[in-house]
Amino acid sequence: MKDLRKRMGTFVVTAALALGCAAPVVLAQTAGQDVKDAGTDTKDAAKDLGHGVAKGTKKAAQGTKEGTEKAYDKTKEGTVKAADKTKEGTEKGYDKTKEGTEDVAHKTKTGTKKVVHKTANATSDGANKVSDKTQTPPPQ
């Protein structure tokens, strides 16, 4: 019985070593094939993408040409109308700007006077407080 156990142990160790050495070779072949397949898939996808882009570009170019011609005509019509409206709007805007500028100038003048008076009063009050603290108290 002891002899059988000894042989069984040797057999298990030998089998494990044999399988352990063969496994990397099998895995290396599978990994190499996976890399090759991935390269082929990438190449095919790039070709399909190139064909799709070419077809889409041709359609887009034709559509752009037609759209550009329509846009040119509409722009030409709209430019004449826009020029007239701009002229009218500019005249109105000038008048409103002039009125607003006069109003702002008056309010700025008034606000500045108020700020100057408040600043002068605050400065005077601050000076009085400082001078009260700097006087030496009378001896007792």
User: Angle at Cα 107 formed by Cα 111 and Cα 98, nearest 5°?
Assistant: 155
Give one DSSP letter per residue of 25-47, joined into a string: HHHHHHHHHHHHHHHHHHHHHHH
- Each residue of 100-132: pLDDT tens digit? 777 777 778 887 877 777 777 777 776 676 666
Residue 11's H or E segment, with its range, is helix 2-134
For residues 118 and 115, give the distance between their C-alpha atoms in angstroms, rounded to a whole number. Answer: 5
- The predicted pLDDT at position 47 comes to 87
pTM of the model: 0.27
In percent, the amount of the chain with pLDDT more than 90 equals 0
Question: Confidence band (pLDDT; 50, 70, 90) for 140?
Answer: low
pLDDT digits (tens, 9 = 90+) for 58-88: 888 888 888 888 878 888 887 877 777 877 7
